[in-house]
């Protein structure tokens, strides 16, 4: 703490010295001609190149100094000669400039004898003082929580972090491009909702002061998007921030980003084909290959993906035939007879659907590595999905599982308002009996359904989880810019 205070004091003195030189320490703007990435690719001899960035290193060699200038996408070396900028400015630079400061320069490009693209500086402007020193270059930040809490430092110091979040932005752009090419229209729907519905999850609750009413942060935009299909949209999608008041793990966040899409006149098999095409498009454009290394596993997204039913998967993995247990009580007894321990609080309060889901997450999902479509989920696990024509106890649903994680969930939608109301009423009863992840009934949605719905199929893809394995990240927080953490008591406590 004392060292930080002293270093800040020295930098503050340098800022005051700049003012004595007549420098505006907080200038309004600086006009650039190129980004650092663009400038680093210019031919030698290009004059009047204007760039700006953060100084990441400086070294003085008598009458010549070299600076390393960086931003989120690029870097370039600067060469400042005393004879070219003048003795007064050269002295000012070395008396006042620190690593971490922002500067703008104008000059001419050349390549050094070591092959490094460089700008020979003709003009120099100070753009911003870093009053706090950056973490030491070679030891870096050892506190992982600090990297999440102060992502700006992580981005400044770590090239891998920059690449990861640039990849995230590129992924979202590619997704928009693909869906646009398929005739999808992007929309935005409300985050605050009167009913916690659209998925089975415990919601976050907040209070609307003007209405004097409790409202929910959405757990999914699903019902709102399907209302838009009722309203006339044919293909619609939203990149939505969703909130689920559940546990946190290395693969799970309570607030996360999903993309959800809905298409009139599609069934779930149409969407399985569409999403296979989309995932192949995304990965090939991101990496130039369909093979992605995940830990010790090389995941190949090319070729056909395996399709397996929910029942067959559980039968193979734990020798439990879920079709033979029509109540949660009987299924739980069988799970215990098989000595399968599910790490779930109040397990007796779970409905049959959520109990099956917990069983699957324990015995099956972690072991599915290659891209696999899981289909034909039990109806009590999918209260919004269309029941199968051949077996009404199953739904026309699919999930894409890769490397032990659910990446995409989709199904043919239930469009029968009477059946939908019945299923949501059953969910509400489960909620009243203690199943906090069961859905609430949304009467507004039922009313909207009664105006008529075409055949619909929808899907959702977790962007954070998708990026987690694409970037081979151990923790899902590694692909979220500022994940929520507990409030820290002392903002100086992590400065190491």
- Buried b / exposed e over 162-200, threshold 16 CB at 10 Å, is bebbebbeebbebbeebbeeeebeeeebeeebbbbbbbb
The sheet carrying 185-186 orders its strands as: 185-186, 235-243, 255-264, 456-462, 405-412, 397-402, 372-375, 306-309
Residue 65 and residue 80 in contact, taking contact as beta carbons nearer than 8 Å: yes
In whole angstroms, give the CA distance from residue 270 to residue 30: 51
Would you kindly state where each structural domain of the chain is located, as residue ranges?
Answer: 2-128, 159-305+370-479
Position 304 scores a pLDDT of 95
Position 141 scores a pLDDT of 63
319: number of Cβ within 10 Å: 10
Total-model pTM: 0.88
Residue 180 and residue 214 in contact, taking contact as beta carbons nearer than 8 Å: no
Q: Tell me the torsion sign for CA atoms 320, 326, 329, 330.
A: negative
In whole angstroms, give the CA distance from residue 357 to residue 3: 53
Given the structure tokens 């002293």, which residue do they identify? 6
Helix (H, G, I), strand (E, B) or coil at 240: strand
Position 47 scores a pLDDT of 97
CATH class of 2-128: mainly beta
Q: In the chain, which stretches have pLDDT less than 50?
A: 1, 138, 494, 496
Which has the closest alpha carbon to 54: 72, 40, 38? 72
Which has the closest alpha carbon to 72: 123, 112, 35, 125? 35
The DSSP-derived string for 131-172 is SSPPPPTTT----HHHHHHTHHHHHHH-HHHHHHHHHHHHHH
pLDDT mean across residues, the chain: 92
In whole angstroms, give the CA distance from residue 275 to residue 272: 5
Position 424 scores a pLDDT of 84
2-128 and 159-305+370-479 have identical folds? no
Tokens of 153: 């430092």
Helix (H, G, I), strand (E, B) or coil at 215: strand
State the Cα torsion 333-337-341-346 to the nearest 10°.
20
Where does 159-305+370-479 sit in CATH, by number? 3.30.930.10
In whole angstroms, give the CA distance from residue 338 to residue 314: 13
Residue 237 and residue 187 in contact, taking contact as beta carbons nearer than 8 Å: yes
Residue 291: C-alpha distances to residues 173, 230, 233 (Å): 21, 40, 36
Residue 36 and residue 51 in contact, taking contact as beta carbons nearer than 8 Å: yes
Position 53 scores a pLDDT of 98
């Amino acid at each position: 703490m004392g060292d930080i205070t002293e270093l800040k004091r020295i930098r503050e003195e340098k800022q005051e010295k700049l003012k004595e030189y007549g420098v505006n320490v907080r200038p309004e703007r600086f006009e650039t001609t190129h980004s650092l990435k663009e400038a680093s690719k210019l031919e030698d001899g290009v004059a009047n190149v204007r760039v700006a960035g953060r100084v990441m290193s400086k070294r003085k060699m008598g009458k010549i100094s070299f600076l390393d200038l960086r931003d989120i996408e690029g870097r370039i070396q600067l060469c400042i000669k005393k004879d070219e900028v003048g003795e007064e400015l050269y002295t000012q630079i070395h008396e006042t400039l620190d690593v971490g400061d922002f500067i703008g320069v104008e000059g001419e490009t050349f390549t050094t004898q070591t092959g490094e693209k460089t700008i020979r500086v003709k003009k120099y402007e100070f753009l911003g003082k870093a009053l706090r020193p950056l973490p030491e270059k070679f030891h870096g930040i050892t506190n992982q929580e600090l990297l999440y809490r102060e992502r700006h430092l992580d981005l400044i110091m770590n090239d891998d972090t920059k690449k990861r979040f640039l990849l995230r932005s590129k992924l979202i752009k590619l997704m928009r491009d693909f869906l646009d090419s398929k005739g999808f229209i992007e929309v935005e729907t409300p985050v605050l909702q009167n009913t916690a519905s659209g998925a089975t999850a415990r919601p976050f609750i907040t209070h609307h002061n003007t209405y004097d009413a409790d409202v929910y942060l959405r757990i999914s935009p699903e019902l709102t998007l399907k209302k838009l299909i009722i309203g006339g949209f044919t293909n619609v999608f939203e990149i939505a921030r969703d909130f689920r008041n559940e546990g946190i793990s290395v693969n799970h966040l309570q607030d996360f980003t999903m993309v959800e899409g809905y298409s009139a006149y599609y069934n779930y098999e149409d969407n399985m084909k569409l999403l296979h095409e989309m995932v192949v498009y995304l990965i090939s454009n991101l990496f130039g290959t369909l093979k992605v290394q995940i830990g010790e596993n090389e995941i190949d997204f090319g070729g056909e993906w395996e399709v397996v039913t929910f029942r067959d998967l559980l039968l193979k993995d734990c020798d439990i035939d879920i079709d033979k247990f029509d109540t949660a009580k009987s299924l739980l007894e069988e799970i215990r007879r098989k000595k399968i321990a599910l790490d779930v609080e109040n397990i007796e309060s779970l409905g049959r659907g959520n109990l099956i889901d917990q069983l699957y997450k324990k015995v099956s999902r972690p072991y599915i590595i290659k891209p696999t479509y899981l289909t034909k989920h039990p109806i009590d696990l999918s209260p919004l999905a269309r029941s199968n024509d051949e077996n009404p106890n199953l739904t026309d649903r699919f999930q894409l599982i890769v490397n032990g994680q659910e990446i995409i969930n989709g199904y043919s939608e239930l469009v029968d308002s009477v059946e939908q109301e019945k299923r949501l009423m059953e969910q509400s009863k489960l909620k009243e009996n203690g199943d906090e992840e069961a859905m609430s009934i949304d009467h507004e949605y039922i009313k909207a359904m009664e105006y008529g719905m075409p055949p619909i199929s929808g899907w959702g893809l977790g962007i954070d989880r998708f990026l987690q394995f694409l970037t081979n990240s151990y923790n899902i927080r590694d692909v979220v810019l500022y994940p929520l953490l507990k409030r820290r008591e002392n903002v100086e406590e992590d400065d190491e």
